[in-house]
Every structure is written in structure tokens, then in C-alpha cells.
Amino acid sequence: MAAEAPGVSTDKTPPDLDPVIHAQARLRVVATLNVLAEGDEMAFGSMKELLGMTAGNLSVHLTKLEEAGYVRITKTHKGRTPVTFVALTRRGRLAFEEYTKQIRALLDNAGLDNAGGVT
């Protein structure tokens, strides 16, 4: 008979984490956009610099998030210069909220308290 680690429950199955958000780069994008007020947007260039990503890499991840309906991408012009803005959609905000709940549940099931200590 295998010993059960203290504070670890084996009667709960681990939550399924949203694979669209779970990729590290996309998680960073969604977390960044979630800080903005609902309806606010961020310029692509600002996001690229803030996250330290290349334009190509950020574009690939934004496309995945857009396909899932989690971000809205708006292309416009500022004078003659093209500008791309990115915003988290309501669906994206709800998906991120659910993702964070699932991560917390996963950590709680691992026997960690909110301060990172073992319970």
C-alpha cells in the first residue's frame, strides 16, 4: 500500500488547464492584457517591448488567441503609420479567470497554501 503525502488529496482529479492560455508566451500575453480595464487595448509594439518578444513570435501567439476568441486585434493608422492594437475580449477575460481558478485548485491539491508553504 502506497503512503499518501500529507495534505495531498487523491480523491480529486486535477483540473484541465486551457491549452490555449497555458503556453507560457500566451499566458504572459493574456495576463498582461487582463490588467487593462475591460475594453482597453494595448499597442502591439508596446506589448512586444514589455514582454521582450519578437514581432513574429508575438504575432503567432496572438493569432492563436484570436482564433480562440480570447483577443481582438484592430489594425488602424496613426497618420500614415500602421498601428495594431490588441484587447482581451470578454470571452478571453472569462477564460483567464477560469484558468487562474484551475491553477489555484491544482496548487491547493498539491498541499500548498496561498503563501507558498506546505499545509
Domains of the chain: residue spans and CATH: 24-109 (1.10.10.10)
Does residue 7 surpass a pLDDT of 50? no
Lowest mean pLDDT among 5-14, 39-48, 81-90, 100-109: 5-14
Give CA–CA dist 101/119, Å, rounded: 19
Does residue 105 surpass a pLDDT of 80? yes
Residue-averaged pLDDT of the chain: 87
Does residue 4 surpass a pLDDT of 50? no
pTM: 0.78
pLDDT category at 6 given cuts 50, 70, 90 is very low
What pLDDT score was predicted for residue 3?
Answer: 45
Give CA–CA dist 16/67, Å, rounded: 20
Helices (H) and strands (E) in the chain, counts: 5, 3
88: helix, strand or coil: strand
Question: Tell me, what amino acid is at 33?
Answer: L
